[in-house]
Copies of this chain bind each other. A is one copy, B any other.
Amino acid sequence: MPSSPELNIALIGCGTVGGGVVRILQSSADLLAQRTGRTICLRRIVVRDVKKRRNLELGQIPVSDDIRTVIDDPEIHAAIHVVGGVNPARTDVTNLLQAGKDVITANKALLYAHGSELFALAHQLGRTICFEAAVAGGIPIISAVNTALTANRIVSIEAILNGTSNFILSRMLDRRQSYEDVLTEAQARGYAEADPAMDVDGTDAAQKLSILTQLAYGTTVPLRDIVRQGIQHIELLDLLVASELGYRVKLLATSRISKGRLELSVQPTLVRNDRPVALTSGADNIVSIEGDAVGLMRFSGAGAGQMPTASAVLADVIDYATGRAAITFQSLQRLQEREPIPLQPQDELSRRYYMRFTVADRPHVLADIADILGRNEISISSVRQDETADVDDESGVARLVIMTHRTTEGRLREADAAIAALSSLRGSRIRMPIAD
């Protein structure tokens, strides 16, 4: 971190978040100077398409489509990297670090895939990487794990980390709409990407959970070791039944230590409706984190969006400009030396479950399903097949909801496969864990 009064930064990427960064740099220059005692100067901007119209007053700041203009400029101290995707981000950040630039990034996919490599390179070169904006947008969860909770051994993390899927689930229930209808509307309004796969299938949340897990427990967990399930097969009926039973369905990301093993999952989960996680609606995120000393702490707010994410980027810029970020990043290197915690095999995760089947409305269907559950040592806590509400318009098809007592993911998977093979099964089915 240079100690001259002027801090020269470059902006790589000037889309939604980048535009927010420019706005705060311009509107809050006085605040940034007070906080840092320095003048933060935006010296260069790199974009993909220099001709694209941007609703920003960029004045004399050179805008280029070539990142070498930043890499080769010895005056630039640090780059704000707000471009998504793994490539060319990986090469760009590598080159920036090697050119002696510190990096402030909001790119969670990059950190998930190549964080260890980039952090090691930065440590080796004496550079700093800041990444508060990469997880949960404006919520200062990286800062909480890296500074406020440092005297704690983290016991568990339970979070809503994907705003798009939370928006869809909230809206389905509020408006009594189908998954498809809400998704179409969210795309039309720009709340969901044209290709929302990473948001709705749990990939985005799992990448963020993996980053938090690395920071909190010092253990690297690849996506394949996280029980992961998306929200695509949830029907409005599931949300309504859960609601009647006193639950909300949330795409819950959890990472907890249980009997010395680390359990990770990202799954639509039934959460009791008076819990703060259940009440986190719309595009908001929440992170509940339990430390051995501090107990349960909760952080919630906007998990994405232009200004909240830009706010997190600027918090990093201020932390960097004052020198705090370099210190924090150094301590992350020491934390690499922690002994990794062994992972719980996915099949061993033990929870209660909600299962919903679409079945032919004929004799012995329930008996068949109950038999399969019984043979897999899964005991049923409640069954529900209403005569009216759950019957489809097309006659002869009914929806059956079963709540189980505590069992394992492995047993559930076995039973589910056997049930799927029943000739009486129709259309979609779903199983979701219940958070205790």
* A contacts, CB < 8 Å to B: 20, 24, 28, 31-32, 34-37, 132, 138-140, 143-144, 147-153, 274, 276, 279, 291-302, 305, 307-308, 310-312, 314-315, 317-319, 322-324, 327-328, 330-331, 334-335, 337-338
Contact = CB atoms under 8 A, between A and B. Distances in A.
A122 B104 CA distance: 32
Contacts of A297: 138-140, 299-302
A279 B280 CA distance: 12
Given A37-B331, A308-B293, A143 B148 contact: yes
A371 B257 CA distance: 63
21 contacts: A24-B293, A28-B153, A31-B153, A34-B334, A34-B338, A147-B147, A147-B324, A148-B315, A151-B310, A274-B279, A276-B276, A279-B279, A293-B311, A293-B314, A294-B301, A295-B308, A296-B301, A296-B302, A298-B301, A324-B328, A327-B327
A14 B301 CA distance: 37
A194 B79 CA distance: 56
B147 A143 contact: yes
A24 B307 contact: no
Query: How many subunits of this chain does the assembly comprise?
Result: 2
Contacts of A324: 147, 324, 327-328
A247 to B, nearest CB: 15
A408 to B, nearest CB: 31
Contact of A301 (B36, B295, B328, B334): B295
A135 B331 CA distance: 26
B334 A294 contact: no
B312 A294 contact: yes
Q: Which of A36, A144, A311, A328 has the most CB of B within 10 A?
A: A311
Contact of A151 (B274, B305, B317): B317
A308 B294 contact: yes
B335 A294 contact: no
Contacts of A32: 151
A337 B34 contact: yes
B307 A295 contact: yes
Nearest to A322: B327
A151 B143 CA distance: 14
A307 B152 CA distance: 10
Contact of A293 (B36, B150, B295, B310): B310
Nearest to A274: B279
A284 B138 CA distance: 23
B311 A291 contact: yes
